[in-house]
Copies of this chain bind each other. A is one copy, B any other.
Amino acid sequence: MKGLLVRIDDYVQNAGEAEKQLISRLQRNPESVLRKTIKEIAKETYTSPATIVRLCKKLGCKGYKDFQSTLAYEVALFRESRDIAFQKITQKDTVEDIIYKVTKKNIESLETTRKLLEPKTITACVKLLETSRTVSLFGLGTSLLVARDLYLKLLRADVICNLCDDWHAQFLTARNLHTGDLAIVMSYSGLTEEMLQCAKEAKANGAKVIAITRAVESKLAAEADYVLPVAATELIHRSGAMSSRISQLNVVDVLFTAYVNRNYEFCMNQFGRTHIQKDGGT
C-alpha cells in the first residue's frame, strides 16, 4: 500500500472544495494533525467532522482515528530520516556527537545511493561482466581503493581482471583494450582528467565502459556506456567527501552480488576454492 501522504496527493485532483481546504492543511503540517481532534481540524479548515471522516475513508482508512495512527507511523519514519539530514559537524560536538553524526551521514549517503541505482542498469552491467573477455579497473586516490575492492571480489569469482596501481600503467592498460573487453572507471567527482583519458582510450579501442561516479552529467559519464551513480555527499569539515567511498563500495557490493546471484553455482564453487582463512576474513 502506498504511503498515506502520497495517497493524499493523488487524491487532490478529485477533491471537492472543502476537501481541498483540508488536504492543504494536512500537507502543510501533517505532524500537528496527530495532536488535534477531528473537531479542531474541522474548525481550522472551516469544514466539518463529517467531511473529514469521509476523506479519511476515501484515503483507505477506517476513520479519523485509523487515519491518525497511520499518519503517526509515517511521520515517525519521516522524522527519523529527516533528523539525519541536517546534522553538520561543528567544533562544539563531543566525541559522542561525532560518532553519531558521522555514522548517520554515511547511512544517509547509502540511502541516497540506493535510490539512484536503477535495476536495469545493474542488470546490463552484470551482463557485460559475464560476457566480456577481460575486465580492467581504473581509479586514483580514494577511488583506487574502491577499484581494489572490486578487484579482490572479481578475483575470487574467477573473472579475468586487471588493475594497475599507477596511472601510467592504467593508461597503457586502456590502450591495450579491444572489442569484447570491459573497462570500469571509478571517479567520484567525475572530473579526474586521468580517468577521462582512460575511459576515452578504452572506448576508442572498442571496449565497453562502465563509470562509477556521482557526476551523471560529466564528460566521464558521457564517455561511458553505463553509469552507476553514487550519492553526492556534502563535506564533513573540508576534509574531503567522506561518505563517497562508502557509497561507491555499496555500488560495488550491489553489482557484485547481482553478478554472483546470476552465476550462483559457479561462484559458490569458486568461493570455496579461494577463501584464505576459515572465515574468509582479514
**Chain A positions near chain B (C-beta within 8 angstroms):** 34-35, 68-69, 72-73, 75-77, 80, 89, 91, 93-96, 98-100, 102-103, 106-107, 110-111, 113-114, 117, 119, 122-123, 126, 139-145, 148-149, 152-153, 156-157, 187-189, 191-192, 195, 235-246, 249-250, 253-254, 256-258, 260-261, 264, 267-268, 271-272, 275-282
Q: Is the CB of A149 within 8 A of B258?
A: no
> Which residue of B68, B89, B243 is within 8 Å of A261 (Cβ)?
B89
Q: A237-B261, A238-B275 are in contact. List 7 more A-B contacts (CB 8 A).
A: A72-B73, A73-B75, A142-B282, A192-B277, A240-B275, A240-B281, A246-B249
In the assembly, what is the distance between CA of A281 and CA of B230, in Å?
13
Given A69-B34, A145-B145, A237-B271, does the pair A192, B282 have CB atoms closer than 8 Å?
yes
Mostly, the A contact residues are: helix
Residues in B neighbouring A149, C-beta threshold 8 A = 142, 145, 245
